[in-house]
């Protein structure tokens, strides 16, 4: 599965080369992204980018309910790698009933079939990948769609440069991933990803990758919100076995300071720390670099544990039960 991550720059490049399936001739109030798990993360990352670059508001829906406020002034992006995820299909059906403008994104499945049946524009993803490993195809496909419809304030140069950056940094990301995997494997405590705003989506991405690829539970702690609740949990520690992976943007002095402070508190319960310093010039570079390191390190950890990173038996069991 590691090779899927190593190919990320190629995925991104080919997503940017594809023509967009639709052009809107009117303004859009907000973008709503519906998707679960490895597909839903597209909405989280887009939301981080839109806040940072003051683009359109992006709302992420990670359930089966199309928000009541969604109207014909919005754009709904329905993202499901397989195209068969029940929650995402429900949102699609509700949007059809309510006449909400939308674009579907999938490698196939019922979502693609229904999109074609109802004349809904569809972005085709490459087949044969794990949903979570196809992040660049989904993200760059959507970024291009938004850009070509004048809905993105991010200079397109930043988007294009991030692809070259990804290519350049793949070797470095692999080396960093090896260190992290070995360290987590040795440490054994509950993995805590300790980071700072605006890296919430990256922290979540890290959790999901270690959950799904390495099959371990993970906690995500984000400063400064952490300072207003979690911090108290370390006053009289009840659980004592933690492995803290710090993720910092070196260009964010306050963020680094906050993560340093968190370390002084975790220090009461663990001595096991590793710091991932994000590489890159733009926020997009940094999120992608971190995501690639998480993808690769969680796969490597799975191998060290003698586990197949690709298989997600419990998710499949749930999907079967959910119908
Ligand atoms: O990465 C994964 O395999 C999962 O998180 C899936 O993305 C999630 O179950 C949703 O499936 P899909 O992306 O096919 O809609």
pLDDT above 80 (res 175): yes
Write down the pLDDT at residue 240: 81
In this structure, the answer to whether residues 36 and 176 fall within a common structural domain is: no
Mean pLDDT of 206-216: 98
Cβ-count burial 125-151 (b if 16+ within 10 Å, e if not): beeebbbbbbbbbbbbbbbbbbbebeb
CA 178, 184, 188 angle in degrees (round to 5)?
155
Tell me the three state secondary structure of residue 12.
Answer: helix
d(CA 288, CA 135): 9
Q: Which residue has the tokens 């079939």?
A: 113
* 60-80 pLDDT per residue, tens: 999 999 999 999 999 999 999
CB 278 within 8 A of CB 248: yes
pLDDT above 90 (res 54): no
In this structure, the answer to whether residues 173 and 117 fall within a common structural domain is: no
Strands 242-248 and 190-196: parallel
Q: Residue 124's beta-bridge partner residues?
A: 106
d(CA 256, CA 25): 43
- Terminal CA-to-CA distance of the chain, rounded, Å? 27
Token reading at 20: 């967009």
In this structure, the answer to whether residues 136 and 169 fall within a common structural domain is: no
Percent of the chain with pLDDT over 70: 100
Write down the pLDDT at residue 78: 98
In this structure, the answer to whether residues 145 and 191 fall within a common structural domain is: no
Ligand 1 centroid to 37 CA: how many Å? 5
In this structure, the answer to whether residues 120 and 239 fall within a common structural domain is: no
In this structure, the answer to whether residues 51 and 97 fall within a common structural domain is: yes
Write down the pLDDT at residue 159: 95
173, HSE (Cβ side, Cα atoms, 13 Å):
31
Domains of the chain: total: 2
Residue 222: pLDDT band by 50, 70, 90 thresholds?
very high
What ligand 1 atom has the least distance to the C-alpha of 79? 15
Write down the pLDDT at residue 237: 82
* 240-293 pLDDT per residue, tens: 889 999 999 999 999 999 999 999 999 999 999 999 999 999 999 999 999 999
ipTM: 0.99
Q: Residue 77's beta-bridge partner residues?
A: 33, 103
Ligand 1 centroid to 261 CA: how many Å? 35
* 186-205 pLDDT per residue, tens: 998 999 999 999 999 999 99
Which residue among 124, 154, 184 closes a domain? 154
In this structure, the answer to whether residues 179 and 66 fall within a common structural domain is: no
Q: What is the mean pLDDT of the chain?
A: 95
Looking up residue 47, the CATH number of its domain turns out to be 3.40.50.10490
Which residue among 100, 129, 154 closes a domain? 154
* 300-316 pLDDT per residue, tens: 999 999 999 999 999 99
Write down the pLDDT at residue 238: 84
Write down the pLDDT at residue 265: 96
Which residue among 131, 154, 177 closes a domain? 154
What is the span of the domain harbouring residue 277?
161-304
Ligand 1 centroid to 153 CA: how many Å? 28
Ligand 1 neighbourhood includes 201 CB (under 6 angstroms) = no
Tell me which residue of 323, 306, 231, 284 sits closest to 42, measured CA to CA.
284
Test site for ligand 1: of 1, 36, 213, most ligand atoms within 8 A of the Cβ? 36
Residue 314 lies in a domain: no
């Amino acid at each position: 599965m590691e090779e899927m991550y190593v190919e990320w720059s190629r995925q991104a490049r080919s997503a940017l080369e594809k023509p967009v399936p639709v052009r809107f001739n009117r303004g859009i109030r907000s973008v709503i992204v519906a998707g679960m798990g490895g597909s839903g993360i597209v909405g989280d990352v887009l939301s981080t980018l839109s806040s940072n670059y003051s683009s359109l508001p992006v709302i992420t829906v990670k359930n089966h309910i199309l928000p009541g406020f969604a109207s014909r002034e919005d754009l709904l992006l329905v993202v499901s790698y397989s195209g068969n995820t029940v929650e995402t299909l429900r949102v699609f059906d509700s949007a059809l009933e309510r006449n909400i403008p939308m674009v579907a994104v999938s490698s196939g499945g019922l979502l693609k079939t229904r999109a074609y049946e109802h004349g809904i524009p569809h972005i085709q993803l490459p087949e044969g990948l794990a949903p979570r490993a196809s992040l660049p195809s989904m993200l760059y496909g959507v970024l291009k769609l938004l850009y070509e419809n004048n809905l993105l304030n991010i200079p397109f140069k930043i988007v294009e440069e991030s692809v070259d950056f990804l290519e350049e940094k793949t070797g470095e990301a692999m080396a960093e991933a090896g260190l992290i995997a070995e360290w987590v494997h040795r440490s054994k405590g509950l993995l805590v990803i300790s980071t700072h705003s605006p890296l919430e989506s990256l922290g979540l991405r890290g959790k999901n990758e270690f959950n799904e690829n390495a099959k371990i539970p993970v906690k995500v702690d984000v400063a400064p919100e952490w300072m207003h609740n979690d911090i108290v949990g370390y006053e009289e520690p009840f659980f004592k076995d933690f492995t803290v992976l710090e993720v910092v943007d070196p260009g964010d002095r306050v963020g680094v300071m906050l993560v340093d402070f968190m370390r002084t508190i975790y220090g009461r319960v663990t001595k096991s720390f590793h710091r991932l310093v994000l590489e890159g010039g733009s926020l997009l570079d940094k999120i992608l670099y971190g995501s690639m390191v998480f993808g690769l390190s969680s796969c490597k950890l799975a191998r060290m544990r003698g586990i197949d990173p690709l298989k997600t038996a419990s998710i499949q069991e749930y999907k079967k039960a959910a119908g």
